[in-house]
Structure formats: structure tokens, C-alpha cells
Amino acid sequence: LGYKNLEVTIWGTTDLQNEQKEIDFILSYTFRHLSVGMTDYWCGTTGDKYTRNHFLEANFSYSFAKIPLSFQWNSIVYGDKPLSFSSYVEASYSTSFNNWDFEYTLGISPWKNVLLDVSAFAVTNISASVYKELFYNNRFSTFAQLSFIYNPAFDCLHWIAGISFTINGD
């Protein structure tokens, strides 16, 4: 949900095999090409209370005006467990072809990251995503996404499919 430069996002996911759940509340403000925000992560299982298992993350991102390149830095600043300012840094390049949008990403953990379970610098994300706008008007849009994500630190390959809904208050 967006109004002028302020955006509120609610995001959720679940692991269909292990009953792992995550609900995120994100508040961000964008000025020109710089975005600053905070994310409240809740991670738990079916029996967990929502009042526990929270992490608060500071987010900073910058998108260049003339080239489709962006950078972001995310650091946990508070949590139910000691997290030693676990951080994640990412660079993304975007392009389009025949009304399909593509994004290629490289993500690292610059030092020990308790959440990503790495003890030092590690490449934790090499990904390729494709997005397609399914419906759009000036107030509401829906997008479909398919991502392939490789984590070299753990030699794991994942795929994610999703649908996004955006309501614009401008």
C-alpha cells in the first residue's frame, strides 16, 4: 500500500512440508533513488504465539537513475535472540524483453550472519527472476513471479513462484 513516498507492505510465506511460517510487516520511505525502511519479521511454526520470534531489520536501498542497477543493505538491529547485527548485501540488475521483466541478483553476507548460518563472509544468493504484469490500472496491479535461487554457501537450489498485489493511494 503506497501513498506518495511512503509504502507499507505485508508479506507472508509458509513451508508446506514443515509448517514453517513467516509474516513480515515493512514500512519504507523513498526519496529520489534512496529507500530507507524497517521490517518486522515473525518466524515460527503452527503452534507458536505471534508475540514471540520477532526480528527487526533496518533496510537501505539505492537504485541508479540511468542504469537498471540497484544495491541494498539489510541489518538485523533487534531480535528475540542475539544476532550480532546479521547483515545481507545485494546487487541487482534488471532488464525487460517483450513485456517480461527479468532480474539477476548477487547477494552476500559480509560477516557472521546468525540468520543465514554463516560464520564469515559468504555468497548466499545467486538468482534469476522473471516477472509478468497480469493486470494493471492506475490504482491496482497484480504481478506473477518465478525465481530460481542458488545459495553457494550451502549448495542449495530453490525456486519460488508468487503473486503480488499492489494498491496505490496516489
- Distance between CA atoms of residues 43 and 21, nearest Å: 6
pTM: 0.80
Q: Where are the alpha helices (DSSP H) in the chain?
A: none
pLDDT at 74 > cutoff 80: yes
- More reliable by pLDDT, 46 or 170: 46
The CA-based angle 79-83-86, given to 5 degrees, is 110
* Amino acid symbol at 18: N
List pLDDT tens digits, range 108-121.
Answer: 999 988 878 899 99
List pLDDT tens digits, range 96-154.
Answer: 999 899 999 999 999 988 878 899 999 999 999 999 987 777 778 888 999 999 999 99
Residue 88, number of CB atoms within 10 A of its CB? 20
* 2 phi, psi to nearest 5 deg: -125, 145
